[in-house]
Amino acid sequence: MLKPLWTAKQAMAATGGMLVGDLDWTCCGLSIDTRSIMPGDLFVALKDERDGHDFVTDAMARGAAACLVTDTSNCPGPALQVKDTLLALRALGEAARDRSPAIRIAVTGSVGKTSVKEALAAVLRAAGPAHWSVKSYNNHWGVPLTLARMPMETQRAVFELGMNHAGEIRDLTSLVRPHVALITRIAPAHLEHLGTIEAIADAKAEMYEGLELDGVAIYPADDPLAERLAGFAKRSSAAFMLDFGRSAGAAIRIESFETGLGGSDGVVNVMGVRVPFHLAATGEHWAWNAGAVFAAAAAAGLDAKHVADALGQVDAEPGRGRAVTVALPKGGQFTLLDDAYNANPVSMAAAIASLGSARPGPGGRRIAVLGDMLELGAQSPQLHRALAPSLVEADVDAVFSCGVRMRDLHDHLPERLRAGYAPNAGEALDMLTSQIRAGDIVLIKGSNGSGLHKIAAVLADGSAFTLTEA
C-alpha cells in the first residue's frame, strides 16, 4: 500500500488553507491535469492558460482525493480552500523540501539540461529512493509541483530549472535550495529575450545564489564562458566548486569518447579515479552530458563505478540522440537519428557533427531534416545561415529545411544540398518519405515549436510510410 504523500491536516498546515468537507482525506500524488490524474491524487486548480477550477468536477469524477481551490462552489467533494493556488502549491513544495533529508540537485543550462536530468535520475534511482522532474517540468509551476510530489523518504532528488528571462532561475532556485547546482552549458538559446550570450550565462548562474551553505557549484570547464560562471560560483555560498569536461585540469575529465550508431563509449577521470562507461545515446555532445552526470553524482556522494553501471542500463530516449533502425515498406531499412527534442545553434552543430561521423549503408546518404531554432531574436537569420558550413564539413548529402526561419539556411546552402524546403512539419514529412531509401541515415533536429518531433515519431514507428502509401 502506498504511503500517503499528504494528509489533509499536513496540506492545510503547509498552505494555511481551510479544509471544506471531509477533514481526514489523504493523497498519494498531485495533479494539475485531469487527463493524467490518478485515483487518490490531490487536484490543484491552477489558473494559467485555462482555469483549473473549470475541471474540478471532472477531477473528482476521475477519483481525486480532494481539490486545492480558491472557490469551492463547484467542488462536489473534499476541498482545501486557499487564496491563491499557485502560491499554495509553492508552499507545499517548500514543506516537502523541508521535511525530507534528500540531497537536492538542480540542473540548468542552454543545452542538455533535460538529457542530463533524465540520465542523472536513472543514476539516483539505482542508488536508492529518488525523486526527479518528469518531462520538462522546469518552470514556475513545474518546479513547485515536482517539489510538492517529493516523498518524505527520498534520499536524492534532481530538479530541472528552465528560463527565458532574467530572474526566473533566481526564483526557482530559492524554492529548491539545492545542495548541488549544475550548469550544463551556455548557448545562444534565449537571445530574443536576453540579448547577449553573456546575459544568458548570468541568468543561468543565478542558480548558484540559492545553494545551501554546504553546497557544490558545478560548471562546464570547456565552455567559453567557464570563467564567468566560476566567478558567480565563487561569489555564492558554495563550499565546493567542481568543473567537468575534456580540459586537462577539469576535476571530472572525459579522457576518451567514441560515438556511433550503436551508442557511445568513453573513459572518465573523476578526481583521480578512472572509470570506463557506455551510453545507449549517440553524438559527440553526450561526452559533455556524461561529464555533467558524473560530476553531479560525485557531488551527491555516489561512487563513479556505480554511476557508470547505472548509465549502461539506460536506454536512449526519443528526441535525445536515439538511433533507430526503420524498415522500409518496399524492402531494406534506414537509420533514424532522433535528436528532435529541441535545438539551438550549439546543439544543432553537435547533431550535424554526429551525422557526419555516421557511415550510411550501401547506397545510402546522410540526410538532415532541420527545423526552426526559436528565441534567437535579431540574430536568428545569421545563426540559421551559419549552419551551412557545418553541413558541408559533415559531408551531408541532402538537407530538408522546415519552417520560416530555416528558409534563411535553405537559401544559403550549396545547390547540391537543397533536397527541399517546407513551411511546416506536415509538408516536410510528405517530401521526406517520398525520398528516403535503403541505407540512408536521417537526422531530425529542431526546436519543439517546429514540430519536427512529430516527424521523428511517425518515422520511428513506420506509420509515415503507411500514410504515404494510403
Q: What is the CATH number of the domain that holds 351?
A: 3.90.190.20
Residues whose CB falls within 8 Å of the CB of residue 368, separated by 6 or more in sequence, listed in order: 352, 355, 391, 396, 398, 399, 400, 443, 445
Q: What is the DSSP string of 197-211?
A: HHHHHHHHGGGGGG-
- 112 and 57 fall within a common domain: no
Query: Does residue 53 lie within any of the structural domains?
Result: yes
Give the predicted TM-score (pTM) of the model: 0.89
Query: Does residue 92 lie within any of the structural domains?
Result: no
- 270 and 394 fall within a common domain: no
Task: Convert the pLDDT of each residue in 68-124 to its tens digit.
Answer: 999 999 899 999 999 999 999 999 999 999 999 999 999 999 988 999 999 999 999
- 212 and 111 fall within a common domain: yes
Residue 39, classified by CB atoms within 10 Å of its CB into exposed (0-12), middle (13-18) or buried (19+), is: exposed
Query: Does residue 73 lie within any of the structural domains?
Result: yes
CATH code assigned at 72: 3.40.1390.10
CA of 252: how far to CAs of 183, 267, 291, 312, in Å? Answer: 14, 11, 6, 18
DSSP at 236: S
Compute the distance between CA of residue 177 and CA of residue 186 in angstroms, rounded to an integer: 22
Closest CA to 356 of 454, 460, 259: 259
Which pLDDT score, from 0 to 100, does residue 461 have? 86
Read off the C-alpha cell for 219: 560548471
3-state secondary structure of 320: coil
Read off the C-alpha cell for 298: 560525485
Which pLDDT score, from 0 to 100, does residue 317 have? 81
Query: Does residue 302 lie within any of the structural domains?
Result: yes
Strands 366-371 and 333-338: unpaired
Query: Does residue 316 lie within any of the structural domains?
Result: no
- 298 and 429 fall within a common domain: no
Q: What is the largest CA-CA distance in the chain?
A: 71
Give the residues of the chain that fall short of pLDDT 70: 1-2, 466-470
- Rounded to the nearest 10°, the torsion over CA 195, 197, 198, 203 is 80
Strands 263-270 and 366-371: unpaired
3-state secondary structure of 401: strand
Q: How many other CB atoms are there within 10 angstroms of residue 231's CB atom?
A: 15
Where is the domain boundary, 282, 311, 340?
Answer: 311
DSSP at 315: P
Where is the domain boundary, 252, 281, 311?
Answer: 311
Q: How many other CB atoms are there within 10 angstroms of residue 232's CB atom?
A: 20
Which pLDDT score, from 0 to 100, does residue 468 have? 45
- 67 and 183 fall within a common domain: no
- 191 and 299 fall within a common domain: yes
Compute the distance between CA of residue 365 and CA of residue 383 in angstroms, rounded to an integer: 25
Read off the C-alpha cell for 175: 524554492
Strands 333-338 and 322-327: antiparallel
Read off the C-alpha cell for 75: 467542488
Q: Are 233 and 226 in contact (CB under 8 A)?
A: no
- 128 and 171 fall within a common domain: yes
Phi then psi dihedrals of residue 221, to 5 deg: -65, -30
Compute the distance between CA of residue 29 and CA of residue 6 in angstroms, rounded to an integer: 8
Q: CA Rg, the chain, in Å?
A: 23
- 292 and 400 fall within a common domain: no
3-state secondary structure of 179: coil
Query: Does residue 284 lie within any of the structural domains?
Result: yes
Compute the distance between CA of residue 237 and CA of residue 17 in angstroms, rounded to an integer: 34
- 282 and 149 fall within a common domain: yes
- 207 and 348 fall within a common domain: no
Task: Convert the pLDDT of each residue in 225-257 to its tens digit.
Answer: 999 999 999 999 999 999 999 999 999 999 999
Say which residue the cell 529518488 belongs to.
Answer: 130
Distance from the Cα of residue 410 to its chain's centroid:
28
- 180 and 265 fall within a common domain: yes
Compute the distance between CA of residue 285 and CA of residue 305 in angstroms, rounded to an integer: 21
- 149 and 27 fall within a common domain: no
Domain that holds residue 342: 322-469
